Chain A
């Protein structure tokens, strides 16, 4: 394949390597930072770089939702919790969990092989499409309308299932965090005591 070299190709390659490098750098920083807040900020950096890569892939909708949901909502909560707990740096033990090193190595290997497989699959499919196969990606793939249509037709069941899952999570969180009035609390304690008593009896 011979590509004509023009400014746009150079710019798109430069943008990809810039943002991909930023994503990898921030991801490394998430793991290596000793301060939990710095890790959180690095994770926000990862999300922002990923959003930039989505923009270069002509999927602005995914990019915007990426920032809106991950950087704007979830990470705000994470930062909020870190600020509330305010873990002192010297309170963290310097000993890492040694026993998990093997598990980490195995999972890293699995991820690396997965990346290799994806690279292999993409390159072979590219070669096939170059030799006359059908191209898999449509030009409207990243457009908002296309995403909306496929969400509400072809992928309706997974979409609704996700919605139900989130609703369950909300109800569960409210159940766990609600404050009981004193009399209700006494009832719950009484009930627990009876249950334990039964368990002991049996």
Chain B
């Protein structure tokens, strides 16, 4: 019996585990960064007691959540009440499997056979190492599909808690996420038209291998600035962040959909929100900011154009891959900082303003962007 499918499954499982753990670690420190940055915005210091500069604060919070008493309201619908936080966190984590974290590493050039013991096991199964857990034809649709299922976590939590504030939060979030999903999906279509692909992996490669006007990096933010603008705003609404945090709206709804949740189940919702921020930032980076692509850096050094290749900064294939991965995360961190910055700056929308803005402004702009992009591409190819 050929065991290679089994090895494949084991490798993918390990990759998922590593990626999810990494994301959760980043999320823990996003929470800390949010508290610190908000503190500085508001002229406070923020958490600074646990560990140097408060760096161990996320773990202190986690242990606090674990050891708190786990309350289930008497009149709650038990099964759905327990199911909802799981749906929220799982749907937040699942999109991570398709994003390429870095360029494909060519293992054949590294001569793995020379490695003791492991080399002979690895090399037959891996000749190239893509820094993405999986790759398939419609990965962009997959991400949108999983995101659209994520709303159940919040809606069901609101319903199952049997609390009027929770129910209001759940209803608000369903209405909000249905509305903004449309403009989000529409804003992505521009990128799909330009790249001609629904494969996230290919979209990044196309951006890395092209340039505009001969010197600008070929990121889709340049031809798709309208799409980027719509996507960014919809992303705030999809993740229920300020200024679109109406499902929680603590001044109106106590804590909205998670009013009745405590201890670790509340922590799951809390983590889900920040994981969603991370995945949406990853998607924005991948679609509009060239993913892992570092401007003017290619595998063979500084790369200005096809015939202008300066071999000054030859970092080797591993170095190139590492720099690219770091850049991917830097772009994501920039988005995360933007999220926090906006939270410290803007007030909350009113619900009718939210609906009007989504349906009467964002969606028409997104549709206009699709029509414009399609027309321009059609005439571009007709020439």
Which of chain A's residues have a CB closer than 8 A to the CB of B42? none
- B185-210 vs A, CB cutoff 8 Å, 1 = contact: the mask equals 00000000000001000000000000
> Given A61-B141, A72-B181, A144-B137: A83 and B158 within 8 A (CB)?
yes
Task: Report the bound CA distance from A86 to B151 in whole Å.
Answer: 19
Question: How many A residues touch the partner, as a band?
Answer: 20 to 34
Query: What total of chain B residues lie within 8 Å of the partner, measured CB to CB?
Result: 35
Q: Are B137 and A79 in contact (CB under 8 A)?
A: no
Q: Are B6 and A44 in contact (CB under 8 A)?
A: no
Interface-lining segment among A63-71, A127-135, A190-198: A63-71
Q: Which residues of B contact A22 (CB under 8 A)?
A: none
B171 partner residues in chain A, CB cutoff 8 A: 80, 83-84
- A68: B residues at CB distance < 8 A: 141, 144-145, 148
The minimal Cβ–Cβ distance linking B183 to chain A, given in whole angstroms, is 14
Give complex CA distance A8, B4 in Å: 10
Chain A residue at smallest Cβ distance from B174: A80
A114 to B65, CA, bound (A): 54
Q: A176 within 8 Å of B by Cβ?
A: no
Of the listed residues B136, B149, B156, the one surrounded by the most CB atoms of chain A closer than 10 A to its CB is: B149
Report the minimal beta-carbon distance from B351 to chain A, rounded to whole angstroms: 15
- The verdict on B159 contacting chain A, using a C-beta distance below 8 Å, is yes
- Given known A-B contacts A6-B2, A37-B80, A61-B141, A79 and B152 have beta carbons under 8 A apart: yes
Chain A residue numbers with a CB within 8 Å of B155 are 76, 79-80, 83
B151 touches A76 (CB 8 A): yes
- Among B80, B145, B147, find the residue whose CB has the most chain A CB atoms closer than 10 A: B145
Check if A77 sits within 8 Å of B156, measured CB to CB.
Answer: no
Chain B residues closer than 8 Å to A41, beta-carbon distance: 80, 83, 156
Contacts of A67 in B (CB 8 A): 145-146, 148-149
| B376 → chain A closest CB, angstroms | 19
B-contact 0/1 string along A85-96, CB 8 Å cutoff: 010000000000
**In the complex, what residue of chain A is closest to B6 when comparing beta carbons?**
A7
**A77 contacts across to B, CB distance below 8 A:** 178
Residue in chain A with minimal CB distance to B150: A72
Chain A minimum-CB-distance residue to B144: A68
In the bound complex, what is the Cα–Cα distance between A83 and B80 (angstroms)?
Answer: 13
- Given contacts A73-B181, A76-B174, 13 further A-B pairs with CB under 8 A are A6-B2, A7-B5, A38-B79, A41-B80, A60-B137, A61-B137, A76-B177, A79-B155, A79-B156, A80-B171, A83-B159, A83-B174, A84-B171
Q: Supply 8 A–B pairs (Cβ within 8 Å), ascending by A.
A: A60-B136, A60-B142, A68-B148, A71-B148, A79-B174, A83-B155, A83-B159, A144-B137
Residues of A within 8 A of B (CB): 6-8, 11, 35, 37-38, 41, 44, 60-61, 64-65, 67-68, 71-73, 76-77, 79-80, 83-84, 86, 143-144
